[in-house]
Amino acid sequence: MGNESTANDTAGGTRGGPYDRGAVRALIDRLTAEGRTVLTAPEGKVVADAYGIPTPGEALATGPDEAVAAATAMGLPVVLKIVSPQIPHKTDAGGVLVGLGTADAVREGYATIVANARAYDPSATIVGVQVQQLVPPGQEVIVGAVTDPTFGKVVAFGLGGVLVEVIKDVTFRLAPATPDDARSMLDSIAAAGVLTGTRGAEPVDRDALAEVIVRLSDLVTDFPEIAEADLNPVVALPRSAGSPGAIAADVRIILDPDPAPPRPTFAREDILAAMERLMKPRSVAVIGASAEAGKIGNSVMRNLVGGGFAGEIHPINPKADEILGLPARASVLDVPGPVDVAVFAIPAAFVPGALEEAGRKGVAAAVLIPSGFAETGDQELQDKVVAIARKYGVRLLGPNIYGYYYTPSDLSATFCTPYDVKGGVALSSQSGGIGMAILGFSRTTRTGVSAIVGLGNKADLDEDDLLTFFADDPHTTAIAMHLEDLKDGRAFVEAARRTVPRKPVVVLKAGRTALGARAAGSHTGALAGDDRVYDDILRQAGVIRAPGLNEMLEYARALPVLPTPSGENVVIITGAGGSGVLLSDACVEAGLTLMDIPPDLDEAFRRFIPPFGAAGNPIDITGGEPPSTYEATIRLGLSDPRIHALILGYWHTIVTPPMVFAELTARVVAEFRARGVDKPVVASLAGDTEVEEASAHLFERGIVAYPYTTEKPVAALGAKYRWARAAGLLPRSSP
């Protein structure tokens, strides 16, 4: 024991370290053999030492010189405690001295407490004196690690006391955490200012604190048996020579001898191969195809045919000769040539038999529309179906879904209605109802869509498979997903991390409140983890989280339309001062930076606006201005390279009617885009009902515009910025 233990890296550290993994393995094996799950404090210290997590120094001295040497090595002041098996109550025996600050005091102290102990019990065996470092006063924080049901090992950080226990000011990251992850945690808590010395105190040693986080996260990654680890408190100290910077004053570790096994995963190339055939099939079979209107098997057929799918369509129905003019077969096995996708429109009970046939036929994917599986309590039937699919290497979409759309293939494999506005966003929903809302919203707003996919029970294919495909799909420029749970949070994060550098990923995570999670529980049977974990880890993966359904839909509509900004300088140009104020508020909410306009640019803007207008930012061109004022200021905003994005506030007047504003703005933006200047421009239109047509006109031309709201256009721009930052496309802003 003691911090003199040598750090032998027996396992070859790839992250932090070197670590003495052998010491921890031996300890855990011993505890497991003993059937114990809770480590004692000394055992905790062994683990901390092995992973280089500083704890208060501790040593046994058998003479005054040894005590002085130990105390000097670990750092003064120290506590001395008599060590004698016959003296359990050390204080009563005068066997404890606290706060000895000099070598002389330690030397004298040693003599004193040994003398006291002898006097107290002359027959006692004096083993020696325990020398313990007194932790210097500093900012107390908590570093912990827990096992999340969705994400597995996660590391947590927060300030101690009220802030964690009452305010819940804690932040989480996936373990293992990189040093960057760890440093970002220090900035992610509401009380972050405490660590940087906001209150006049010295700033703490951030690197040392981050190092403790990294090391603890490595520990729980290396040893899945560690269910929980709590360093509480860690005393964070100012940076100074010779100081450890952070000391874990208490180490608590709890084991789970039976950790959950990792979920089986598919290889990336296998996922892509199956998804390719699912999304771009040459041949689709509809199992349960029907000629009878109102039947699901009829709707699916009509949507495939009516949607314009150019590949083969094979209705499968033993009782029909032809359906919609296509020859019907009794079994998918009767189809001549290969079949890529089999869409199932038959009752749940018949799925296993038909899936066997589809498997033998070699289909890549089975789209299971029917309900009646896990969601109605029949987990057994669902497991059976999954087993059949695994046997034949068939991937499953669903069950319990509306089907899916992939517009580049003109594919509407669904019982809803075809969708034909091609465009960049791929959407998915776990719930059918939300899928319907996606369809209706997209249709009414003419949102350009590459795919809409129902995931339902997610018995097999899930969000990370879709991400893997959409990341590479040239037709998809943004992805938006509604989900209630993640079957494998780590696989999702991995897929998201690969996707985000290329295209934005928006997630609407339902069940984010305790009540919502309870509803999700009753709905899907999924165990919902703490939403703060979801929130932090999705952000860590660069995912844009939509606060609600409407926001997810609006982001899905706007993100593919908006070009990517090249910097943080946002400028508001507004005809209505009142809108300018609300747009400024919205910028703060959306995490946007209103550019500090330099004097020359300010002067340039002032040339176009009335003397009583306000330059600065917002630039208030004032109401009642003619189209030329809007045009001149928008041109200036687009042409000055220091400005990276524009927010326009339009005010309906007789002098500049809505469509005049819309047309001039669209024209000027198009002109600049033709010249290669492609900045994001969003607009809020305040006015009578003509602003609706004007907003639609602008949106169709790549200017994200909304009537009667100052919040939505700014929120959409904010979402684009959040993605651009996560994708590393913007110069790092200061924290």
Q: Scan residues 394-413 and list those touching its own copies (CB under 8 A).
A: none
| Shortest distance in whole angstroms from residue 450 CB to its own copies | 19
For its own copies, the closer of residues 183 and 512 by Cβ is 512
Of 475, 465, 454, give the one whose Cα is nearest residue 410. 475
The least CB distance from residue 154 to its own copies, in Å, is: 22
The encoded tokens of residue 362 equal: 């070699």
- Using CB under 8 A, which of the segments 219-227, 239-247, 578-586, 659-667 binds its own copies? 578-586
- In 3D space, the residue among 532, 497, 395 whose CA is nearest the CA of residue 453 turns out to be 395
Query: What is the 8-class DSSP label of residue 485?
Result: -
Which of 457, 601, 710, 723 touches its own copies by CB under 8 A?
710
**With respect to its own copies, which residue has the nearer C-beta, 106 or 517?**
517
Q: What are the residues whose beta carbons fall under 8 Å from the beta carbon of 272, sequence distance 6 or more? A: 468, 469, 472
In sequence order, what are the beta bridge partners of 414?
A: 403
Token couple for 103: 């070598």
Closest alpha carbon to 42 in 23, 17, 61: 23
Question: Using CB under 8 A, which of 33, 34, 123, 166 touches its own copies?
Answer: 166
Token pair for 177 = 């955490």
Among 111, 119, 330, 588, binds its own copies (CB under 8 A): 588
Q: Should residue 380 be labelled a site residue for its own copies when binding is judged by CB under 8 A?
A: no
Cβ burial of 233 (10 Å; 0-12, 13-18, 19+) is buried
> What does the radius of gyration of the chain's CA atoms come to, in whole angstroms?
32
Q: Is 431 in the site for its own copies (CB under 8 A)?
A: yes
Only one of the segments 58-66, 188-196, 216-224, 254-262 lies at the binding site for its own copies (rule: CB under 8 A); that segment is: 188-196
Q: Which is nearer to its own copies, 282 or 523 (CB)?
A: 523
Pairing outcome for strands 226-236 and 170-174: unpaired
Count of Cβ atoms closer than 10 Å to residue 549 Cβ: 17
Specify burial of residue 379 (Cβ count, 10 A radius: 0-12, 13-18, 19+). Answer: middle
| By CB under 8 A, residue 297 contacts its own copies | no
Residues 6+ apart with CB under 8 A from 735: 187
Query: Binding residue for its own copies (CB under 8 A) from 50, 163, 358, 449?
Result: 163
Interface with its own copies (CB under 8 A), residue from 497, 692, 725, 729: 692
> Does residue 594 belong to the site contacting its own copies (CB under 8 A)?
yes
Window 320 to 339, contacts with its own copies (CB under 8 A): none
Report in angstroms how near the CB of residue 655 gets to its own copies at its nearest. 9
Contact letters (x/-) for its own copies, 445-484, by CB under 8 A? -------------------------------------x-x
Closer by beta carbon to its own copies, 335 or else 546:
546
- What kind and span of H or E run contains 101? none
For 462, the 3-state DSSP assignment is coil
Residue with Cβ nearer its own copies (409 or 695): 695
530 binds its own copies (CB under 8 A): no
Type of residue at 479: I
- Written as one letter, the residue type at 346 is I
Is 194 near its own copies (CB under 8 A)? yes
Which residue, 141 or 231, has its beta carbon nearer to its own copies?
141
**Contact between 555 and 721 (Cβ < 8 Å):** no
Kindly tell me which of 328 and 455 has the beta carbon lying closer to its own copies: 455
Which parts of 498-517 interact with its own copies (CB under 8 A)? 508, 510-516
Of the candidates 39, 70, 691, 724, which one interacts with its own copies according to CB under 8 A?
691
Those residues whose C-beta lies under 8 Å from the C-beta of residue 669, and which sit 6 or more positions away, are: 634, 638, 681, 701, 702, 703
Nearer Cβ to its own copies, position 439 or 493?
439
**Smallest distance, its own copies to C-beta of residue 371, A:** 8
Does residue 142 interact with its own copies by CB under 8 A? no
Closest CB to its own copies among residues 223, 721? 721
Element (H, E) at 375: none
The encoded tokens of residue 209 equal 């604190």
Could you identify the residue written with the tokens 């400005």?
Answer: 643
Sole residue written with tokens 């295209």? 503
Strand bridging mode 422-429 / 478-483: parallel
User: Scanning residues 195 to 254, which ones bind its own copies (CB under 8 A)?
Assistant: 198-199
Burial class (CB in 10 A: 0-12, 13-18, 19+), 271: buried
Min. distance of Cβ 32 from its own copies in angstroms?
33
Task: Tell me if 81 contacts its own copies by CB under 8 A.
Answer: no
Distances (CA, A) of 720 to 170, 329, 394, 484, 609: 27, 49, 37, 24, 30
Q: Does 582 bind its own copies (CB under 8 A)?
A: yes
Among 125, 689, 728, 733, binds its own copies (CB under 8 A): 689
Q: Does 519 bind its own copies (CB under 8 A)?
A: yes
> Is residue 138 a contact point for its own copies (CB under 8 A)?
no
Q: Which of 480, 544, 686, 704 binds its own copies (CB under 8 A)?
A: 686
**Contact residues for 301 (Cβ-Cβ < 8 A; gap 6+):** 286, 289, 290, 313, 315, 323, 324, 326
Characterise 484 by phi-psi region: left (phi > 0), alpha (psi -120 to 50), beta (else).
alpha
Q: Does 32 bind its own copies (CB under 8 A)?
A: no
- Separation of alpha carbons 559 and 542, rounded Å: 15
Residue closer to its own copies by CB (options 177, 416) is 416
Determine the interface stretch with its own copies among 104-112, 355-363, 439-447, 495-503 (rule: CB under 8 A).
Answer: 439-447
Residue 602 found at the interface with its own copies (CB under 8 A): no
Nearest alpha-carbon partner for 489 in 220, 725, 262: 262
Residue type, 327: P
Which of these, 139, 144, 63, lies nearest to 106 by C-alpha position? 63
Q: Is 379 in the site for its own copies (CB under 8 A)?
A: no
Q: Is 712 in the site for its own copies (CB under 8 A)?
A: yes
Given 577, 631, 639, 727, the residue binding its own copies (CB under 8 A): 577
Smallest gap from Cβ 377 to its own copies, in A, equals: 6
The residue from 262, 624, 626, 728 that contacts its own copies (CB under 8 A) is: 624
Nearer to its own copies, 50 or 582 (CB): 582
Answer yes or no whether residue 123 interacts with its own copies by CB under 8 A.
no
Nearer to its own copies by Cβ, of 312 and 531: the residue is 531
Binding of residue 421 to its own copies (CB under 8 A): no
Residues 533 to 562 in contact with its own copies, rule: CB under 8 A:
547-550, 553
Q: In 10 A of CB 346, how many CB atoms?
A: 21
| Among residues 581, 660, 729, 730, the one that binds its own copies under rule CB under 8 A | 581
Residue 190 vs 254, nearer CB to its own copies: 190
Q: Taking the mean position of all CA atoms in its chain, how far away is CA 629?
A: 43
Among the listed residues 7, 436, 604, 664, the single contact to its own copies using CB under 8 A: 436
Among 347, 377, 501, 728, binds its own copies (CB under 8 A): 377
Q: How far apart are CA 683 and CA 146, in angstroms?
A: 45
DSSP H or E stretch at residue 377? none
